[in-house]
Structure 1
């Protein structure tokens, strides 16, 4: 293991007491069952309370309330991981997140660095997004919703990091020494979860590749930091921009201030910006690493 990844040993300490792969597989099955059942009950209750078109609106996250509820439902993943870790490895949720005070400090430090980077990017000369942006929400409404929306995004990204860079990565690291395995496998699973050919069409593979690279960078930050704080901050910053500021119009746009003039499946328009976003992701990763060195 590279010397820079020695802090990761802290996260795997409790996992190493019960590192068997069957525990991970049974744990993932338990998480899948719990999340599926809780989502089924949650969304069935929500759909029953609304009009006929509410179900489609909820699944697409096309209104503020629909997207907030959709993001909050990711909390079921965190609950599932907490149950699986306790039952299969006798681990607590905080043992997956890392030492609490350090995780919080690193989260804040990395988020500050990314916000500064975001402000610098905003002040640079304007670049064409392939057409005029359309305002989705009135500015006053957007500002009033922003605290709740940001908290909902935090629930969503924390759940994904706890599952992929937390439970899966740490359990694999407790069993295998090679970062190729314990960074690569969770990143592949993360990419598979973002592969949506029905919605993205010809862009599906590129979006999955983007998710794979993001997973590797988040895994690297986790291994260097010894907590999930930096990875959650990176994921939070990315999703706040993509969901709350400038979103794609066909899905998860309910809380966006602006929407792009093209949708997920528009290969000609979206592909150049996915490549630009990939470059920016590397810049954000470097900024996060610099913040961790302070």
Structure 2
């Protein structure tokens, strides 16, 4: 046996034999707008994703639009000069389907071009269903209150269109509006903001570009100054609540309820043709709409803090 001198230092255990000065690897917190900053992302991913989104979106619009046209022809509904079905319900469905067609396009591009899945919904990598349900409560309350006040500020002054006309349009709108609202949220508050966030630190360039584009596709070029401002404020508020809650759920809830209320009211008075008409929006309606949106954002932020909603994700350092 070999004797060990009493003054010799003890032999270190294998787990204690570590390199001195090796830096510890700590997770990096990521906000919602930076979730596209994946380790394998290269400079060309953004342009490639944009091109793929345009091509895929047009393909889905063509396929779904053709299917709707075929259904209309089978049902004996005539088509207009643009090849879209005419008549109440059918023309409204065509508009909603065309917008909703961008939703699968965005999801497919994020999954197969950007090589990520789930992070477009939230920092947890999924759509948080319970949190979405919670946000629907203040969205319904605020939208109903804003609608009542708006009717006092700018009365409709139209007669009820009748149950046969109302029910058909209302059912179509309620079925398709969730997909239409989700398509716009995943594109504007989700993909555009995160695409900018992949290359810049500040979320505001992405928020500004998405807000202006959102206003323009909602006939912002023909809107009044107050109407355009209303669209921009609504878009910016949805981006802010998305960033501060770490996901699209709160924005989805308000957008879904807002659009559903607009469609139901328009169906009741047979004015769905002017549902996106912002040419006559004045200062009074702008104030009512903006205050309602701000109140909703404030309530949601309080609820998110009390419920401990996750606002950041963690990823290893690049």
- Measured against the shorter chain, the TM-score band is 0.7 to 0.9
Aligned partner of 1:159 in structure 2 is: 183
For residues 292 and 85 of structure 2, the distance between their equivalents in structure 1, rounded to whole angstroms, comes to: 27
Could you tell me which of 274, 282, 285 is aligned with 1:271? 282
The within-5 A match list for 1:200-219 is 200=222, 203=223, 205-219=225-239
Query: Match of 2:93, SS?
Result: helix
Runs (5+) with no aligned partner, structure 1: 1-5, 248-255
1:175 counterpart = 2:186: no
Number of residue-to-residue matches in the alignment: 273
Aligned partner of 1:28 in structure 2 is: 50
For residues 190 and 135 of structure 1, the distance between their equivalents in structure 2, rounded to whole angstroms, comes to: 31
1:220 counterpart = 2:220: no
For residues 20 and 8 of structure 1, the distance between their equivalents in structure 2, rounded to whole angstroms, comes to: 18
Distance 1:20 1:208, change over 3 A: farther
For residues 293 and 189 of structure 2, the distance between their equivalents in structure 1, rounded to whole angstroms, comes to: 17
- Greater per-residue helix proportion: 1
Runs (5+) with no aligned partner, structure 2: 1-27, 307-318
For residues 123 and 206 of structure 1, the distance between their equivalents in structure 2, rounded to whole angstroms, comes to: 20
Q: Tell me if structure 1 keeps the 8 A contact 2:143–2:292.
A: no
The within-5 A match list for 1:93-242 is 94-98=118-122, 99=124, 103-120=128-145, 127=152, 129-138=154-163, 142=166, 146=170, 149-197=173-221, 200=222, 203=223, 205-242=225-262
Q: Tell me if structure 1 keeps the 8 A contact 2:219–2:277.
A: no
- Structure 1 position 127, deviation (Å): 1.1
CA RMSD of superposed structures (Å): 3.6
Distance 1:231 1:27, change over 3 A: same
Residue-by-residue CA offset, 1:192-237 (whole Å, 9 max, x unaligned): 322454xx4xx25543332222221111111111111111111112
Q: Which of the pair has more CA radius of gyration?
A: 2
Aligned partner of 1:252 in structure 2 is: none
Q: Tell me if structure 2 keeps the 8 A contact 1:109–1:292.
A: no
